[in-house]
A and B are shown apart, each in its own frame.
Chain A
Amino acid sequence: MAINLDAKIPSGPIEQKWNKAKFEYKLVNPANKRKYSVIVVGTGLAGGAAAAALGELGYNVKAFCFQDSPRRAHSIAAQGGINAAKNYQNDGDSVYRLFYDTVKGGDFRAREANVYRLAEISVNIIDQCVAQGVPFAREYGGVLANRSFGGAQVSRTFYARGQTGQQLLLGCYQALERQIDEGRVQMYARHEMLDVVVIDGRARGIVTRNLVTGAIDVHLADAVALATGGYGNVFYLSTNAKGSNATAIWRAYKKGAAFANPCFTQIHPTCIPVSGEYQSKLTLMSESLRNDGRIWVPKKQGDTRAAAQIPEDERDYYLERMYPSFGNLSPRDIASRAAKRVCDEGRGVGPGGLGVYLDFSDAIGRLGKKTIEERYGNLFEIYERITGEDPYSVPMRIYPAVHYTMGGLWVDYNLESTIPGLFVLGEANFSDHGANRLGASALMQGLADGYFVAPYTIGNYLAGIKPGGVDESHPECKFAREEAENRVKTLLSIKGKKTVDEFHRALGKIMWDKCGMGRNAAGLDEALPLIQALREEFWQNVTVPGSGGEVNQSLEKATRLADFLELGELMVRDARIREESCGGHFREEYQTQDGEALRDDDKFCHGAVWEYQGSEQAPVRHVEPLSFEHVHLTQRSYK
């Protein structure tokens, strides 16, 4: 089947496209809405918001998550804040500026029309969240407070202490619980989606495993929305929650949904460095810390003196030196690479030389300890708990870590994938962030997709079809369920010698070494057979204890890893072919003289869209050309 990559961008001036689309979308009349059912997989900001909003509209919603409660989705961990073009600070912000910053920050690899819509909706999100009772930070006058984030010269980030994701998600979760109470949303917690059911070319349902009883079931609906988050855990160590996985989107890919820009990964510059072999995940220190913290390393290589012993003129505040106008608030990809570079030069600090200082002594001197405590108290506590060091007196040590994935399932302007009726929201789609996401923009995108875009576009889709019409006796349902059951049975029966985590660590190491912060053709060429061999070994030598008919966390990890082992390969293929550097994708062969990413707009000004061809054949790479009519293609400069 030929793949259709029509982005369905409405015609007309960019400022009017979304209004025009909303006007042209077909509507389902209120009395008919309850005849339609929608499955929403994931209850993070994107899925939780969509499920609640669709329930409010009157549709029958079934929502799924793998945790024990929708309130625990990974969105809960977001710390720093959410962007919105409110211009409450009167500092020159506007919808257009947020749009501009996001396109430029994404290194010109996102669709202008989508980004504009995102910036436009951003202002409504704040209003919506305030109405729900989200306790955003306030000024003494009672108005909303803002802070700055990387890649922007205005203060447009709204926050709730260092727990912004938590508070936004609780707002969304509470709206969802209200719909559950009213009977419009049926919640299936502790359910893991293992496959999509596609019937007559349309997404009609999903296969799930009940994580308590082990039961594998089919759920049917008129449309399916995936909001299952990012796939950063392919690297094993990342800032993502341990359960974050790619299974939902990967299974959809294998059923015909195209996957776009899989190699676009964001490495966050400020995370707590790895401390030992047993390390299970990495902890982010919010980017908001860069508002007041200064990043530095010693000028001398191999300088092992304690930070306090290094005099001012022997310190290199390298971000301030290299990027004077953005300084410590340079975008993430740039700050991460700069940290890697100084550590590669032998100037890193802490064990193994894999760290740089994030120093608050100037800010404490200027503002007082109390103000710093008010702004970042909980982050400082987290740091102290993990490292045993007090960041009020010793500078933090930080190092970049995998954080976010800009790639994901390809979607058109309506957030619909190449499988009709399959919508993809939040981090799971190939997002509006191009090749690099700016801080505080993921929460914005998740809520924009969930509250304000999907309820319209899914409604438009439903208005064009008749409700119902299939049941579980359909051969596709039977087939998808049996396939999931067989996969589980096989994993349990291998009874090999290595644990799932051992394989996952091995995959993570290949991905980080060869497809991480810096990539090159030789490394990527090596990675491909390594991943294939590891995958083969996994299917022969993994050991998964326990049975399928009970709580079995090893089995959950195994089904997820099986998919990561395939996805890793696609990421490597994508990184290999994209012979340019852009945003988070840094190909060492393509850099400017001073080490900045060098795009090749003639060859690569497009989204790379991969189509699955079965397990025996390599996938096919299509392209969605991008054009920039408003923000002109230039080399990004933050100098």
Chain B
Amino acid sequence: MKLTLNIWRQKGPNHPGRMVKYEMPNVDEHMSFLEMLDVLNEDLIHKGEEPVTFEHDCREGICGCCGFMINGLPHGPQRGTTVCQLHMRQFHDGEELWIEPFRAKAFPVLKDLMVDRGSFDRIIAAGGYVSVNTGCFVDGNAIPIEKQNAEMAMDAAACIGCGACVASCPNASASLFTAAKIAHLGLLPQGQAERDRRAVRMVAQMMEESFGYCTNTGECEALCPKGVKIENIARMNRDYLKAAITYREESAPAGGS
């Protein structure tokens, strides 16, 4: 099939960007979207032009590296699919596509379709863990966990940190991402001891990273490639409200003085 691509080209963080048109005369329906871009890039290199920069690694929909907008949708039109898993049979002959990076103040563009998502790591560093040192454990079966809770925790933990939720949100909020981790750990007995601290610190970090507020538009859930549910945000809000009233940060970090 034949496609016309309009791709955002931007040389670096402080350069202006613009849409550039490319014709793709020969696209195979069995190709993945990224393989189609590989073909374009090989072509550009042969012509002495710079290839389009886009992030990817596993190409199996699990590492969360890939992600950009196709016709205004993060990861493109197929539900529950990352762009590396999206195949060209989802498009039809003669279509024109607009391909842009994820847009958010907290995700500055580094080059072409590549953005900086370091803010996500900092949100996790603020409290997205159970504080146990290596070796500090009991037998795995000593903590029975209701199957249903384990399943729900797993649903939330399936987040791949790609940033599609932020890109889909009119407010560029990172609520779904943050809530998914708070819910994953909050649903398990192991996560209870730090539940308040986690909610307070992760939410504070999220605000500090200049993500927007959540106004419940629900776009994030609709467009999350891993089907992470918006009910996690309600759970986060409950945890946060409760903790905001009762939780007090220690004056000195543990062990320090």
Contact = CB atoms under 8 A, between A and B. Distances in A.
Contacts of B62: 76-77, 163, 165-166
B129 A167 contact: no
Given A133-B184, A554-B45, A71 B121 contact: yes
A551 B60 contact: no
Nearest to B46: A499
B118 A189 contact: yes
A1 interface: no
A394 to B, nearest CB: 16
A613 B39 CA distance: 39
B154 A161 contact: yes
A385 B157 contact: no
Interface stretch (B92-100, B185-193, B228-236, B242-250): B185-193
Nearest to A554: B51
A76 B64 CA distance: 10
Contact of A142 (B48, B81, B146): B146
Interface in A381-409: 381-382, 385-386, 388
A388 B59 contact: no
A203 interface: no
B81 A385 contact: yes
B140 A241 contact: no
Interface residues on A, range: 35 or more
A570 interface: no
B129 A86 contact: no
A278 B63 contact: no
A280 B38 contact: yes
Interface in B75-97: 78, 80-81, 85-87, 89
Given A69-B118, A280-B59, A53 B134 contact: yes
Contacts of A279: 35
A147 to B, nearest CB: 15
Given A170-B157, A499-B46, A126 B140 contact: yes
B87 A386 contact: yes
Given A131-B138, A174-B129, A136 B110 contact: no
A72 interface: yes
Contacts of A131: 130, 132, 136-138, 190
A178 interface: yes
A229 to B, nearest CB: 11
A181 B126 CA distance: 7
Interface in A164-204: 165-167, 170, 173-175, 177-178, 180-182, 187, 189
Contacts of B34: 280
B140 A52 contact: no
B125 interface: yes
A127 B34 CA distance: 39
B7 to A, nearest CB: 15
B111 interface: yes
Contacts of A181: 125-126
A38 B35 CA distance: 39
B55 A68 contact: yes
Interface string B139-159: 111011111001001100110
B157 A167 contact: yes
A388 B190 contact: no
A215 interface: no
Nearest to B13: A212
A142 B31 contact: no
A455 B134 contact: yes
Interface string B108-123: 0011001011101100
B57 interface: yes
A23 interface: no
B255 to A, nearest CB: 9
Contact of A133 (B30, B38, B87, B191): B191
Contacts of A502: 42
A24 interface: no
Contacts of A77: 58, 60, 62-63
Interface residues of B, number: 80
B59 A281 contact: yes
A49 B135 CA distance: 12
A56 B126 CA distance: 16
Interface in A436-463: 451-452, 455
Contact of B111 (A143, A276, A280, A550): A550
Contacts of A52: 134
A546 B53 CA distance: 11
A127 B42 CA distance: 48
A140 B147 CA distance: 5
A594 interface: no
Interface in B3-33: 11-12, 28, 30-32
B129 A76 contact: no
A67 B53 contact: no
Contacts of B138: 127, 131
Contact of A135 (B11, B121, B135, B184): B184
Contacts of A163: 62, 158
B131 interface: yes
A88 interface: yes
Contacts of B114: 551
A553 interface: yes
A241 B141 contact: no
Given A280-B59, A499-B46, A128 B38 contact: no
A616 B12 CA distance: 41
B170 interface: no
Contact of A385 (B85, B136, B139, B184): B85
Given A127-B137, A143-B144, A278-B38, A76 B63 contact: yes
A553 B53 contact: yes
B101 interface: no
A243 interface: yes
Nearest to A77: B58
B56 interface: yes
A7 interface: no
Given A129-B140, A167-B154, A278-B35, 18 more contacts: A67-B57, A72-B65, A77-B63, A127-B139, A127-B140, A138-B150, A161-B158, A165-B62, A166-B158, A167-B157, A187-B121, A241-B57, A241-B59, A281-B59, A452-B134, A501-B38, A551-B53, A553-B53
Interface of A: 49, 52-53, 56, 67-72, 74, 76-77, 86, 88, 124, 126-133, 135-144, 160-161, 163, 165-167, 170, 173-175, 177-178, 180-182, 187, 189, 212, 241-243, 275-276, 278-281, 283-284, 381-382, 385-386, 388, 451-452, 455, 499, 501-502, 543, 545-546, 550-551, 553-554
30 contacts: A68-B117, A69-B120, A76-B64, A77-B62, A126-B140, A127-B140, A130-B140, A132-B132, A133-B129, A133-B191, A135-B188, A136-B150, A139-B147, A143-B144, A144-B141, A161-B158, A166-B158, A177-B124, A177-B125, A178-B129, A182-B253, A385-B78, A385-B86, A451-B134, A452-B134, A499-B42, A550-B111, A551-B12, A551-B53, A551-B110
Pairs of residues from A and B, 7 with the lowest C-beta to C-beta distance, nearest first: A142-B144, A174-B129, A127-B137, A131-B137, A177-B125, A135-B154, A181-B125
